[in-house]
Amino acid sequence: FFKQKTAYEIRNCDWSSDVCSSDPPLAYTVRVPDPTSPSTSVEVRVPTDGKQQVELFLPVWSPGYYRVENYHTKLRDLTAADAAGAPLAVEQPQPNRWRIAAHGDSILVRYTLQCTGHSVTTNWVDATGAIWCGPATFVGLLGGAARKHEVALELPATWPD
């Protein structure tokens, strides 16, 4: 079993490369509100780049494991708000895509993931820890240059080190 990284260790890693633009990053916060429930809450601040709408997606497969996984079937309750907290309209033009009305510099998107998978490409949470797979966890911004993604973890104090 791999030792769990603390939120401090994750936040202080620089996994970016020269391929990332200098545009503002997508900033995620991953929370486990109840370690006895197999779910994860994700919040992401999404830069709008001045656009009237943004489109987010969740991949349907993971690199290196070329099987359709349809991760969107584990995503629940996606909502969006502007910087003042006002709700924004969300459309779902495809099963794994969300189009969100936008104004301002960024929007805040929240969703819940059901984490009951037992595979190298799915998410799992229980009372002792979690395994998150990037493609199954993090919505991405459709279009534009590659940009950095920042991830902060808020983990239950009851989990072992």
Contact (Cβ atoms closer than 8 angstroms) between residue 35 and residue 127: yes
What's the per-residue H, E or C state across 30-65? EECCCCCCCEEEEEEEEECCCCCEEEEECCCCECCE
C-alpha angle 7-59-149 in degrees, rounded to nearest 5:
35
Task: Compute the average pLDDT of residues 74-103.
Answer: 95
- 24-38 pLDDT per residue, tens: 899 999 999 998 999
Q: List phi, psi (to 5°) of 109.
A: -115, 135
Higher pLDDT among residues 4 and 106, named by residue = 106
Measured CA to CA, the distance from residue 24 to residue 120 in angstroms comes to 30
Rg of the Cα trace of the chain? 16
Residue 2 confidence (pLDDT) above 70: no
Cβ count within 10 A of residue 100: 20
Measured CA to CA, the distance from residue 97 to residue 100 in angstroms comes to 10
Token pair belonging to 34: 């109840």
Measured CA to CA, the distance from residue 21 to residue 146 in angstroms comes to 6
Residue 62 confidence (pLDDT) above 80: yes
Measured CA to CA, the distance from residue 76 to residue 54 in angstroms comes to 19
Q: pTM score, two decimals?
A: 0.85
- 107-152 pLDDT per residue, tens: 999 999 999 988 888 999 999 899 999 999 999 999 877 889 999 9
